[in-house]
Each structure stands twice: as structure tokens, then as C-alpha cells.
Amino acid sequence: MKKQFGTAAVILAVIFAVSIVLSLTFITLEADHDCIGEDCPVCAVIAACENTLRTAGSVLMAAAVILISRIILMYSLPAVTHAVKATPFSLKVRLLN
């Protein structure tokens, strides 16, 4: 099951990267096109590509925040759990009064 999720994640990452590269390529190639006015189809596609890049930036920023928080938790939680290991119950101390 994990292998299927890993394969799906790789496929989605490749599709994401290809969409970014193709959007950048289209914007670069068609930046100086002959615009026909308000209803220009090339301008509409350029606007869609810019929207894709803006969304991709937001996704990458969210992924960076998640990655940084996981790294912080990965290094901070073992220190906390190590400090809590020595409890009266774990040391098998009887508190009989």
C-alpha cells in the first residue's frame, strides 16, 4: 500500500513540475505576441499560466512550512520524551504511605 502511495506521489510531483515548466515556457515564448484586443486567446492562456504559477508558489510555500515544522518536531520530540522517561511508574517505585 505504501509503495502505491509513493508511486502516486512521484507521478503527481512530475506532473506538477512539468506544468510549471510548460507554463513558464509558454509565457516566455508568447510574451511578445500580436494581441488582437480584449478577447485575445493567447492573453487568456497567459493569464491561466500566471495563475498556475501563483498557485504553485502557494503550494511550494505550504510544503516548505510543513517540511520545516516536521524537521523541528523530529528533533525536538526525542528530547522531550527522553526527559519524561524517568517517572516513578517507569522506575517501579511504590508510593505506600
Q: Where are the domains of the chain?
A: 2-84
Residue the block writes with cell 508568447: 30
Give residue-wise pLDDT tens across range 66-79: 999 999 888 877 66
pTM for the complete prediction? 0.63
Task: Give burial (CB, 10 Å; 0-12/13-18/19+) of 85.
Answer: exposed
Q: Which residue has the higher pLDDT, 73 or 81?
A: 73
Residue the block writes with cell 515544522: 69
| pLDDT for the residue numbered 81 | 60
